[in-house]
Amino acid sequence: MRVPAAPPDATQQPPPVSFAEAFFYWLKLGFISFGGPAGQISMMHQELVEKRRWISEHRFLHALNYTMVLPGPEAQQLATYIGWLMHGVWGGIVAGVLFVLPSLFILMGLTWVYLAFGDVPAVEGILYGIKPAVTAIVVFAAYRIGSRALKNNVLRALAVLAFIAIFAFDVPFPYIVLMAGLIGAVGSRVAPDKFRTGGHHGDGKNSYGPAIIDNDTPVPAHARFSWGRCIAIGLVGVSIGAGVLALLASRWGWDGTLTQMGWFFTKAALVTFGGAYAVLPYVYQGGVEHYQWLTGAQMIDGLALGETTPGPLIMVVAFVGYVGGWTRELFGPDLLPLAGAAGASVATLFTFLPSFLFILIGAPAVEATRGDVKFTGPLTGITAAVVGVVLNLAAFFAYHVLWPQGFDGRFEWFSALIGAAAFVALFRYKVGVVTVIAACAVVGLGYSLVF
């Protein structure tokens, strides 16, 4: 892959980027995008804004602010947005697909190893160390979201109510999102100051030199709002989703596993406000409790695998789909890996298809509403509720990790120590997620070999 040389003078605008050059960058990003959304966004900023100067910081942040209020993985949507802004619809599709595709294949391979060899003592030991680390990561995620989102007592109370609703009364996650959005909509009119969002990630004043898409670069023709273009893209996207769902239903019926996966993950994609940690309780409720595609313990293991692979964390849905296809033996007991791959592919397609439509249809129109409290109020309420939902997820993980046989069983004190150390590493010393998981895996392996 040819890496473009930096302009000889920082005051010069870089040369235009070809579609092929952008393709290879997005492919590279798909293999190295570790670190969760914050790390992935930082990586894109450093490469695209600071080094290559494909897009100015102001335009980068403008795109990021939009993706932050959408359901779905914001880092993947940001890549789709920038690819679309640079090279149109196909540029956005390539950027978004390549952000996900390497992770899908890597996760399918790891899930196969997990299901085929998960009872090997060494693998069990590694997972023993990773599980408390994942619990610490979820707690830390709740802290990070809460510190940014809960700016006043009204929003803090909303987070508490959301936690009580899902923890004590088992209210489905979509209902919590709906109620929080309604509260935010009403609150933005009654007490707008309580539901006003602040700026995100700075104001874009820093300059790294002129960019190809600079602050004053006119909006390209393909990025201007057009009802005809929106309708056409919407029809194509809906046709793809409905067509695949109809094909699955015609082969296996509406109650078939793959059909239900397609329908379930479509709904999941529409309630992923707040990122992957927010939608995991909904995926747990559906995948574990309702459909019983996998167990609660397997769900924790899937999150651990998702944390150690590149790509958006929401790719844990591929793990859920793979395990569901495998355990249901969709194509018979001799084709378990193929069944797993089919489940993972269906889960991934229906999870990410709405994200592409949100960007390719909504970006030209929705950007004009940024900063208007009437539009941001409901999303502020939803984000506050997400904090309570994520805390519930942390409580669920902690229970299954520290008391694997229930409260009547023994307390896993060593798991508690690993989890506490992982949280301190994340919170106090700002250690990366992958590093923390790797260290905890080594500790767990060593503990299992000794004891």
From first to last of its 451 residues, the chain has per-residue pLDDT tens of 444 444 545 678 888 899 999 999 999 899 878 656 766 887 888 889 888 999 988 788 778 767 876 788 888 999 999 999 999 999 999 999 999 999 999 999 989 999 988 767 777 788 789 889 888 887 887 887 787 678 899 999 999 999 999 889 888 777 887 899 899 889 988 988 888 654 444 444 446 788 888 877 777 788 788 889 899 999 999 999 999 999 999 999 999 999 999 999 999 888 766 566 667 778 888 999 899 999 988 988 888 788 778 888 889 999 999 999 999 999 999 999 999 999 999 999 999 999 999 999 988 876 555 456 566 678 788 878 878 877 887 888 888 889 988 888 899 999 999 999 999 998 999 887 778 888 998 999 999 888 8
CB atoms within 10 A of CB 68: 20
Residue 48 DSSP code: I
- The 10 Å CB-count burial string (b at 16+, else e) for 21-50 is bbbebbbebbeebbbbbeebbebbbebbbe
Buried b (16+ CB within 10 A) or exposed e, 231-261: eebeeebeeebeebbeebbeeeeeebbbbbb
What pLDDT, on a 0 to 100 scale, did the predictor assign at position 206?
46
Residue 184 in tokens: 């935010």
Retrieve residue 109's tokens: 């391979």
pTM above 0.85, yes or no: no
